[in-house]
Structure 1
Amino acid sequence: MMKFTCAWIRMSMGIFVFAIVHVYAQGVSAMVRYDDAQVLSLDGIWNFATDPDGKLTHDALNGARGIRKIKVPACWEAQFDDLVDYDGVAWYWREFEVPKGWRGRRIRLQFDAVDYFARVWLNGHEIGAHEGGYLPFAWEVQDCIRFDSPNEIVVKVIDPSGDAKRFPEFPLHEVPNGKQSHYCNIGGIWQSVRLIAHPSNYILNILVTPDVKRKMAILRIQLRRPADVGTKVSISVRRIGARERPITVVRSVQRGESEVTVNVRFERVCRWSPDHPHLYRATVKLFTRDGVDCAHTTFGMRTVEVRDGKLLLNGVPVYFRAALDQAFYPDVIYGPPTDEMLKKQFTIGKRFGLNGLRVHIKIPTPKYLDWADRMGLMLWVDFPSWYRFNERVKQRVEEQVREWLVRDFNHPSIIAWCLVNEEWGINMDAREVREWLRKMYSLMKRLDPTRLVIDNSPAGRGHVISDIEDQHVYRNIPDRASDFENWVRTFAGHPHYTFRYPDSIRRGFEPLVVSEFGNWGLPDVNRLLEFYGGKEPYWFFQSAYRGPIYDGVLKFWRYHFDSVYGDLSGWARMTQAHQLESLKFEIETMRCYPSIVGYVITQFTDLNAESNGLMDMCRNPKALDDLRYCQRDTVVLARPTSPASTWWGGKVASFDVYVSHFGTNEPIRNATLRWWVEGTGLRGRVHGINVPAGDAGKVAAISFITPNVRKCSKLRLWMTVLMRGREIARNYRYFWAFPRAYRQMGKGTVHVWRTRGRLIRFKAYLMRSGYRVCDELSDDTIVIATHLDLELVKWLRDGGRVLLLAEGTDALGAIQMPLRIASRNEKGWWGDWATSFLWLRRDGMFEHV
């Protein structure tokens, strides 16, 4: 086995990059780009062969079996159906020619990411090896380059499975892999490869720290080696898309300097924000005695901080309206996707009212971050999860975290780093684990003091030390609506369990964020098949996370759901309507509490069969456009005083009105609330609405006589808030109106079967409400029961009617069915994480419901 030496390359602000060194290996920054004339892309078509037995060698590949052509960048699972589940060894190789004008220059071979372990040969010489699936690495290779004939590069890739005997150095559960182990363990050269030509000394990295208060950007330029006499740098900074003269600074570099700090001052700073994502481009030229090196990077001027329980962007209290993005894709699986797909999904997200994303346990590609910068999305980025913890894992995580924070340092869209998700891979009850978490938090804050750090984003557990106080919660709506309200009320009071450990450090300024919640809305299977040209993709048959999709389609027809929904498209429309109402209820519940300053919807897009996205897997938006009313800086919302949001015609309907006001330092003063019931003449105004900036609360109560409708009707109450004649908020609330005539009881009777327990109180309620409750059964009797026994089954078979209020898993009793009633608690995801849907076939006795 080859021996390596380890180099620590010191960066600015105490940042270090770890690199495995052989023939001068370097940590690199993917956000630093070079002039096109300096770059030769090696993306494109390569030769490829799998090596299940690990017997191939780098010098005998052309005789290998099963050689095919593969595209780089992309994982092999996305290109070959028979390799979707392949883990192990694979080989890549290709030829290329180098411009003769590069002779005498230093040439770097850079990989943006290879999953998971790569060993590289160039023209038969072993260049080196690298471990880690998400981050870039490079070597200087000029001594191995041929200028008069084609060059051959060979890459051996090892993508481990969880088999520790087969992969003892890095079994899958001990390496950062995120959700790969859940959905598809990807392997290969999945990000770009290039050669870069430089003079003898060159720019390795550019780190930009915005100093908004002093109207200054601090550029720290790292050089490949200490400078010689006569070296100088020229920095030109301009705002992208603006007709402004660039700011130019020229500075001599002292002999022996390997890092140059330059302060660039602005007359006027245009700050980056979701509404105004201003970006700057810094072009740096290094003048040396044997040539000029030119590199550039993009950055934004903005500040991120937490203070007094608020999340502040540029000193303004913002409400973090985010969705969880696992960044899997329908065609390339793990990426990188096309620019068109990234732009499309981010555009849809902003249309729905999002101003942020939580990139979930994946280090996103540079292209992803570039688009988030341009389009104005605040990013909370999770480090990829691992699933077993030991000393090797600690070292591996720390090294890759260091590299991660350097690579993405300049992206203004990133506002928070998160190390662990839901305690995965660690035991937080162990004191030494909590000590390690505290150490890693301190390391990340030291490496990047400009952003927030979350130690663990918990699901029922807690924090050791964190800049954000967050929790995950999943409740099915409407049947668990009151439970969700109670949970939010408790969470809004900073409950003790969020910092529950004896060594937890609560500092008092941490803002509250509900960092996971959500509901399912099924995709239109026909639209998914359109994307794939009618071919069923591999994930239609994948069982993970309540799949497979294909099995669900078969059950739709087997259980005759077409008699309820019509077809699969109708099924999707109805479940998406349920998803909209559920999300809207949950978001509005949270926005009533000023201490909660953000949330993360699970999730941005569906992932295979996990169907809780705002878009489906193929980035078709679901019918959720109305989320834009409750996903904005200022939100007006109505909470009914009747828990069920129902009133009889002629009765008084009443609502409490709340306003949540963020995204500005300007309070709402003397505004006007206008309201009306759509399709009726009911309307009104409330004057003198006042709400401080970064606050929320009840501002008014409205009431009116419920219209005397002819049938059960779903009515919509609209509200707007106007300040100085300008509308700053608009929203609606549905409620139900029942005809007064329905209160007149017919000739039928109600029989409560086997009255006991809660049925005793229910029977008394029915009698108080005017229902004729009888003790005997007759043809016009409806039986209400919680359990079907043999006598009741006989009553049903003889034509009787039963309303079954199932209170236990044995409620079906004597009826033999292919379905069963299951407890919601039987499996953790049933009914709450994976939404349960209620439906009625609107005919017969349910025609007017």
Structure 2
Amino acid sequence: MRKTNYLDGSWNFGIDPKNKGESESWYTGSIPNAISVEVPHIWQREGDQFVSYNGAAWYERQVKIENLSQHHDYYLCFGAVDYSCRVWWNGQFIGEHEGGFTPFEFNIPSTLIKDDNQLSIRVYDYEANAEIPIGKQGSWYTRVSGIWQSVKLEVRAKTFIYNAFVTPNIDQDSLEISSFVTGEINESTSINFVIKGHSLRDEQWGDKESISGTLEMVETTLPIFQEANNLTHFKTILNVHDMKRWSPETPYLYEIEVTVESKGKVDSYQTTFGYRKVEQKNGRIYLNNEPIYIRGALDQAFYPDTIYAVPSVEYIQKELQAAKDMGFNLLRKHIKAELPVYLYWADRLGMLIWAEPPNYVKWTATAQKRFVKLLNEMMIRDYNHPSIIIWSIYNEEWGLEWDLEFDIEKQDHVAKLFDEVKRWDTSRLYCDNSGWTHVKTDINDHHRYFALPEQIKEWENDLDEYVIGQCERNFVTGYQSNGEPLLISEFGMWGLPSIEKLRNYYKGKEPWWFVNQGDGTHQDDYKKPTTALVNHSKFGIREALGDLENLAVSSQKRMFRGVKSLIEEMRKRPQIAGYVVTEFTDIEWETNGWLDFMREPKEEFNRLVDFNGPTCVIADISNRNLWSGESTNFDIVVVNDLAHLREVTIKWEFVDANQQPYETLNGEIHFNMNDETYWKTEDGIYITVPAVSNSEFAQLKLVLISCGQVVASNVEEFTFTNKHAFQKLDSTVYVHHLPQEFSNQLVNHDIEVTSELEKDVIVVTDHLDAEIFTHIHTGGHAIFLAEAGDHLEENGHYPFRELPPGESWPRASSMNYINTEWFNGVPFHPEVGWEGSELFPDYVIPFADYKKEGTKRTINMFGSPRLAEESNVLAGYFQGWLGQNGGSIVHHRDGKGSVLIITWKLINQYGKHPIATQLLNKLIMKVKGESIYEN
């Protein structure tokens, strides 16, 4: 039988920056200036010079072999080495390999085998890596180089099992079993198999009876197994009955052992598999002939210490359980060949996997060849994992140089490769070009990044008018949608982590990746954690959000609020077959994870199942900011992916900020789901807002009950405002260049409006012309309603930056913040929430240089940090790590007076929107006060 000696552990390691090790025969002696490292090993983990080192490096260790056998062969096996390697055994070259993600092995000549042996390996990772599959390592995050997966020495019989493939067919109650054998085959050679139960989640499981049989030699090979030279194919079709099906809820795993006996020597090969079926039809993904709604998370699988390698089995188990606890049923392994041990535990614990090969960058014949070879190797390695139900080929045209829509050669390449992979493995679904323009695909997926609440209307319109309403727009000319499932396979928002927790984790130091390890395309200020350390004390950020720890809490609350609404809008629309949120965990500088980089949950994320669980109750709300006495109604949506629901009750009530219920705002809704997956009320809840003292936050609480058990719950945010509780202002206002309706609304709210521009009046205008500047310079004050930004006819000397409209990855990292202390009495969150709905600015005053996308080129635009230094920033905007800063409420000294610039949308909302009305009243009340300048 086969024997295995793992060579993980202590090795000698040294870099070879002059690439002279081979010419100086380092493989015959010791490595100069070597250090001791633990293999599996990623040399960037050593820190300092190793983090950014590319080129040659050497590994060396002694291998002791006991009980030498002349009747067996010795194979040196590698899980993966990044990127290429050359190997010497006892000073003799035995082989080389290129490719950083998949297994390979070398047969060591018997003449080289001794009791004590020296193993030397030269690894080379290329600095110029555009034509090799790399994924995001080195391009977005820390580079990965070295012997990063396990090494072992196997002793095998001369004739042995190379691998085995099991293909279930649940419709015909059968299994196709194939195995490839290397070595001499004669009439006495027999290939047998035994199948038995393996596990159910974390418990061992096995039927009392096993299934056994014999494989017969066939002349054909499997389409997926292209390099079958010197291998013999054995196969059978096995009829099975009552085999338990694999699913996320019941992840039954079977194990198969295939043995070959030849000339009295026996070799065996074991693997696990699941009995399941995947297909797409009727706009849905089906698992085992039942529709399944995809609730997925993007998982790039980088780790705070071990970078690309998972720290332990226990770590995997904890991570997968955390994903299930948050409501996910799928992880999209983003452009990374996940470790086999991770996939095994995904199989075992019931987590669906969307697999994806690492991309290359430059479109060349060499790059394509390497990429296709890697994809084939990954699909061979991972064939028996039932958890993998989808394979991507490309992601967002990475490697296709982002012009697939216009390049027929690339379209042909993608179409042919799609057909090829479907021929290799018919048991899975395939996505040709995830998220962007499709050619031929099983899944019509989109990558759509929006920031909510700011862009709620844009998000709704994008789903209705583009994703659902124009499916064909997501295909290149000449190809069309054929009713494939619609998925949003990337979306999300940022939530900054606790810097204190990061420093504690890294033993009091800032991690190396605080200096962004990505390439030149990821050196924007907002992608650098060091930017936050510099900018926190600027632009009114500290005054609004507190220290960096409080800021992180606010950022995470904003993220929760945003992703909750993003997902709920998708789940309201039954035409959408699922989603994959960006992303499962933070990775270095990219902080849109639902867990931070240390795999700890973020603020309020104990409520994730409210909207990400299999059953959800959702309020369809059009207006969250209400006046006392105002009546409104909204629908209730119930989505049910899993549990069978019939008679159900929804209990609802409104509570105030202290969780005290409003007496008249509660009720129950009774209905029968009849096991449907989607149900929507018509005008399910009708309320009249009660009298409140001033203006306050309120919440709607929903509870879904079936058979006496709480099945789902949810909480929605509102504000209630008393229209008659406004403080009468003693200021007189001069309205300049604004609609008469606006002036009428001021008068309706007891604000004195004059037609004379006198020194003591406050100007409210959207037109900073010479007359108004004269008033300001001589000691007057003006409120500049600058919501039109670049479209203002007279903007004085104030610059404006339009925030990215529509779909925008950078904007999804952003936050609008406000100094709540200065606006005391107005219900604002420091990270502005739904109270800002319909008011959020489209423009800010830029404090940082920024880029404006033009029709033919990107234009570099200038910010005005000096303006921020001269002013008091009362509300502002930033992206990511407090970069790309701007102000949305800025009070600026000018001459003997001042101008208060606000880009929030107030002109048409004043008097109608409770928060807009209070906001402008507060500005009028305080614009003259010197306290406005205090920092």
Decide whether the 8 Å contact of 1:318 with 1:694 is kept in 2.
Answer: no
Q: Distance in 2 between matches of 1:770 and 1:224?
A: 92
Q: Distance in 2 between matches of 1:655 and 1:105?
A: 75
Q: Residue 91 of structure 1 aligns with which residue?
A: 58
3-state DSSP of counterpart to 1:513: strand
Aligned counterpart for 2:197 among listed residues 234, 238, 256: 238
Q: Residue 834 of structure 1 aligns with which residue?
A: 813
Decide whether the 8 Å contact of 1:718 with 1:733 is kept in 2.
Answer: yes
Deviations 1:81-115 (A, max 9, x none): 21111111112121111221544211211111111
Aligned counterpart for 1:634 among listed residues 615, 626, 631: 615
Decide whether the 8 Å contact of 2:61 with 2:120 is kept in 1.
Answer: yes
Q: Distance in 1 between matches of 2:209 and 2:755?
A: 89
Residues 840 and 144 (structure 1), Cα distance of their counterparts in 2 relative to 1, 3 Å cut: farther
Decide whether the 8 Å contact of 2:5 with 2:152 is kept in 1.
Answer: yes
Aligned counterpart for 2:448 among listed residues 473, 476, 481: 473
Q: Distance in 2 between matches of 1:284 and 1:356?
A: 31
Structure 1 residue 721: Cα displacement: 3.2
Is 2:297 the counterpart of 1:314? no
Aligned counterpart for 1:410 among listed residues 376, 384, 402: 384
Deviations 1:221-243 (A, max 9, x none): 22123533333324132231225
Q: Residue 93 of structure 2 aligns with which residue?
A: 126
3-state DSSP of counterpart to 1:564: helix
Deviations 1:767-790 (A, max 9, x none): 677765444567996654457678
Q: Distance in 2 between matches of 1:446 and 1:173?
A: 29
Is 2:173 the counterpart of 1:173? no
TM-score when scaled to structure 1? 0.87
Structure 1 residue 541: Cα displacement: 1.7
Aligned counterpart for 2:528 among listed residues 548, 558, 570: 548
Q: Distance in 2 between matches of 1:480 and 1:795?
A: 35
Q: Distance in 2 between matches of 1:331 and 1:793?
A: 61
Decide whether the 8 Å contact of 1:470 with 1:498 is kept in 2.
Answer: no
Aligned counterpart for 2:332 among listed residues 331, 341, 358: 358
Q: Residue 23 of structure 1 aligns with which residue?
A: none
Residues 748 and 311 (structure 1), Cα distance of their counterparts in 2 relative to 1, 3 Å cut: farther
Q: Distance in 2 between matches of 1:539 and 1:616?
A: 15
Aligned counterpart for 1:483 among listed residues 434, 444, 458: 458
3-state DSSP of counterpart to 2:802: coil
3-state DSSP of counterpart to 2:684: strand
Aligned counterpart for 1:73 among listed residues 40, 43, 61: 40
Q: Distance in 1 between matches of 2:25 and 2:541?
A: 60
Decide whether the 8 Å contact of 2:654 with 2:700 is kept in 1.
Answer: yes
Structure 1 residue 77: Cα displacement: 0.8
Q: Distance in 2 between matches of 1:696 and 1:438?
A: 39
Q: Residue 25 of structure 2 aligns with which residue?
A: 59
Deviations 1:387-427 (A, max 9, x none): 11121122222211111111011111111000111112213
Residues 122 and 688 (structure 1), Cα distance of their counterparts in 2 relative to 1, 3 Å cut: same
Deviations 1:647-688 (A, max 9, x none): 112322321111223236x5x545333222233232212223
Which runs of structure 2 are paired with 1:23-62 in the superposition (5 Å)? 38-57=3-22, 59-60=25-26, 62=29
Aligned counterpart for 1:223 among listed residues 181, 186, 196: 181
Residues 224 and 571 (structure 1), Cα distance of their counterparts in 2 relative to 1, 3 Å cut: same
User: Which one is further off, 722-731 or 284-293?
Assistant: 722-731
Q: Residue 22 of structure 1 aligns with which residue?
A: none
Q: Residue 674 of structure 1 aligns with which residue?
A: 651
Aligned counterpart for 1:444 among listed residues 421, 429, 432: 421
Residues 699 and 651 (structure 1), Cα distance of their counterparts in 2 relative to 1, 3 Å cut: closer
Which runs of structure 2 are paired with 1:702-713 in the superposition (5 Å)? 702-713=685-696
Structure 2 gaps, min length 5: 220-230, 829-935
3-state DSSP of counterpart to 2:801: coil
Q: Residue 844 of structure 2 aligns with which residue?
A: none
Decide whether the 8 Å contact of 2:698 with 2:720 is kept in 1.
Answer: yes
Structure 1 residue 309: Cα displacement: 0.3
Aligned counterpart for 2:256 among listed residues 278, 282, 287: 282
Aligned counterpart for 1:615 among listed residues 595, 608, 612: 595
Structure 1 residue 376: Cα displacement: 1.9
3-state DSSP of counterpart to 1:647: strand
Q: Distance in 1 between matches of 2:47 and 2:69?
A: 37
Decide whether the 8 Å contact of 1:203 with 1:223 is kept in 2.
Answer: yes
Decide whether the 8 Å contact of 1:352 with 1:631 is kept in 2.
Answer: yes
Q: Distance in 1 between matches of 2:54 and 2:439?
A: 36
Question: 2:576 corresponds to which letter in structure 1?
Answer: I
Q: Distance in 1 between matches of 2:242 and 2:409?
A: 49
Is 2:670 the counterpart of 1:687? yes
Q: Distance in 2 between matches of 1:276 and 1:766?
A: 64
3-state DSSP of counterpart to 2:468: coil
3-state DSSP of counterpart to 1:838: strand
Structure 1 residue 524: Cα displacement: 0.6
Residues 268 and 752 (structure 1), Cα distance of their counterparts in 2 relative to 1, 3 Å cut: farther
Question: 1:309 corresponds to which letter in structure 2?
Answer: G
* Backbone CA RMSD of aligned residues: 3.0
3-state DSSP of counterpart to 1:579: helix
Is 2:94 the counterpart of 1:138? no
Deviations 1:202-232 (A, max 9, x none): 1111212122234444322221235333333
Decide whether the 8 Å contact of 2:177 with 2:238 is kept in 1.
Answer: yes
Q: Distance in 2 between matches of 1:691 and 1:795?
A: 68
Which runs of structure 2 are paired with 1:808-823 in the superposition (5 Å)? 808=789, 821-823=800-802
TM-score when scaled to structure 2? 0.79
3-state DSSP of counterpart to 1:484: helix
User: Which one is further off, 781-790 or 829-838?
Assistant: 781-790
Which runs of structure 2 are paired with 1:329-368 in the superposition (5 Å)? 329-368=303-342
Residues 762 and 86 (structure 1), Cα distance of their counterparts in 2 relative to 1, 3 Å cut: farther
Q: Residue 368 of structure 2 aligns with which residue?
A: 394
Aligned residue pairs total 791
Is 2:434 the counterpart of 1:457? yes
Which runs of structure 2 are paired with 1:587-602 in the superposition (5 Å)? 587-602=567-582
Is 2:691 the counterpart of 1:729? no
Structure 1 residue 298: Cα displacement: 1.6
Question: 1:833 corresponds to which letter in structure 2?
Answer: A
Q: Distance in 2 between matches of 1:317 and 1:771?
A: 60
Question: 1:441 corresponds to which letter in structure 2?
Answer: F
Structure 1 residue 697: Cα displacement: 4.4
Structure 1 residue 540: Cα displacement: 0.8
Residues 726 and 212 (structure 1), Cα distance of their counterparts in 2 relative to 1, 3 Å cut: farther
Deviations 1:602-654 (A, max 9, x none): 11111211111111222221122222111122222111242xx1111232232
Q: Residue 31 of structure 1 aligns with which residue?
A: none
Structure 1 gaps, min length 5: 1-34, 163-171
Deviations 1:727-780 (A, max 9, x none): 44322222211124335754545544443xxx6765566567776544456799
Q: Residue 28 of structure 1 aligns with which residue?
A: none
Residues 837 and 45 (structure 1), Cα distance of their counterparts in 2 relative to 1, 3 Å cut: farther
Q: Distance in 2 between matches of 1:785 and 1:226?
A: 91
Structure 1 residue 520: Cα displacement: 0.8
Residues 640 and 827 (structure 1), Cα distance of their counterparts in 2 relative to 1, 3 Å cut: closer
Is 2:117 the counterpart of 1:151? yes
3-state DSSP of counterpart to 2:821: coil
Decide whether the 8 Å contact of 1:471 with 1:513 is kept in 2.
Answer: yes
Is 2:210 the counterpart of 1:247? yes
Identity %: 31
User: Which one is further off, 358-367 or 211-220?
Assistant: 211-220
Structure 1 residue 451: Cα displacement: 0.6
Residues 160 and 766 (structure 1), Cα distance of their counterparts in 2 relative to 1, 3 Å cut: farther
Structure 1 residue 710: Cα displacement: 2.4
Decide whether the 8 Å contact of 2:195 with 2:254 is kept in 1.
Answer: no
